Amino acid sequence: MINPPVRVTLRTWFAPGMVAIAAASLGLLILRYGDFAPSAANLPNWMPWRDTWVRLAAAVLLASSAGLWYPRTALPSAFAVGAYQLI
């Protein structure tokens, strides 16, 4: 049986699109300013490879924000963005 095409409305892409734009903006801010970004200020100074962890978190956030635009990867990407915001 063939599934009917999904009807795309403003409601189905607007909210995930806004979350994706906000997450991408935060990821770019962290990649640009690194240690001076608000999320990096919460990490302790004694943490090993602190800058690497900050850049890795920004890259994951940026990749997840790109994944929010595609239906197949939207759910794992939403979990990744949510986990980043929770931490």
Structure-block tokens of residue 38: 């608000």
**Please, which pLDDT band fits residue 59 given cuts at 50, 70 and 90?**
very high
Q: In whole angstroms, what is the distance from residue 58 CA to residue 61 CA?
A: 5
The pLDDT, as a whole number, for residue 64 is 93
Q: Which of the four pLDDT bands, split at 50, 70 and 90, describes residue 6?
A: low
Q: Output 68-76 pairs: Cβ under 8 A, ≥24 positions apart.
A: 68/16, 68/17, 68/19, 68/20, 68/23, 69/16, 69/17, 69/20, 74/16
What pLDDT is stored for residue 42 in this prediction?
75
Mean pLDDT of 66-72: 88
